[in-house]
Amino acid sequence: MAKGMREIKRQIKSIQSTKQITKAMEMVAAAKLRRAQEQAQAARPYADKLKEVVTSIASGTRGVSHPMLVKRPVKKIGYLVVTSDRGLAGGYNANILRLVMDTIRERHTSKDEYVLFVIGRKGRDYFRRRGLPIVEEITELPDSPTFADIKTVAYKAVKYFDEGQYDELNVFYNQFVNALTHIPTEKRLLPLEDDATAHEGDGLTASYEFEPSPEVVLEHLLPKYAETLIYSAVLDAKASEFGARMTAMGSATKNASEMISSLTLTYNRARQAAITQEITEIVAGANAQG
């Protein structure tokens, strides 16, 4: 009985230490979540204005076109997948990776029909183990990433589409709704046909004068706009990651508290049983001597 009680006390102490860690991680994730939300919100005005200008050129200037705006027969697709470098974030990585794999199985019969751009160690390791075609990867992103941190993969993803190495570019990421909700999402980045023609004919586009010409301006702006969409998805994914980690660590802390309560009750019952047994033995011994 004594050995069993010592084991229970050891378990309680171990779980209490784990609870302290998960509580600290929950608080850190909450602080990082606030910063990530602010960063994502701060990046939106630039992306919105860039979209307005691109839309105005594409839909308001007759005869202006660009390969990034034209939908072509899809023979090969590029997928940019945003995951995290670390775990302990609930189903954050598993949900987005499951969506990617389901999409690949549904659309492709050969690895020659797609390529992967991967942000985050979890995604990179997952795809590597399965031998999938990764053409570019980025790991060790900071908690507050700048555009410079993802510039390489964003530039290459857009450039390869422009060069015709694939006919469509999609991004997979966890769309941030709130701290408790993040939705695994697939979004088409290229071609930009839908965004560029969304406001055509509605009379709301602003009038711009372009120098040297609309074609030249569009040629420079479209890659920047596509790269900005990638950066926005990364910021959204970061906020989702911290929200998922905060929720997961909060649940772990709650579960630890429940386990401690249960083990404490078990320990108290065992101790009470041991005391009762000792008293019974003492009384029996006294009666035997009498």
CATH 3.40.1380.10 for domain 27-247: yes
| Tens digit of each residue's pLDDT (9 = 90 or more) over 132-172 | 999 999 999 999 999 999 999 999 999 999 889 999 999 99
Per-residue H/E/C for the chain: CHHHHHHHHHHHHHHHHHHHHHHHHHHHHHHHHHHHHHHHHHHHHHHHHHHHHHHHHHHHCCCCCCHHHCCCCCCCEEEEEECCCCCCCCCHHHHHHHHHHHHHHHHCCCHHHEEEEEECHHHHHHHHHCCCCEEEEECCCCCCCCHHHHHHHHHHHHHHHHCCCCCEEEEEEEEEEECCEEEEEEEEEECCHHHHHCCCCCCCCCCCCCCCCHHHHHHHHHHHHHHHHHHHHHHHHHHHHHHHHHHHHHHHHHHHHHHHHHHHHHHHHHHHHHHHHHHHHHHHHHHHHC
| Tens digit of each residue's pLDDT (9 = 90 or more) over 73-90 | 999 999 999 999 998 898
Please give the model's pTM, rounded to 2 decimal places: 0.83
Regions of the chain short of the pLDDT cut 50? 195-204
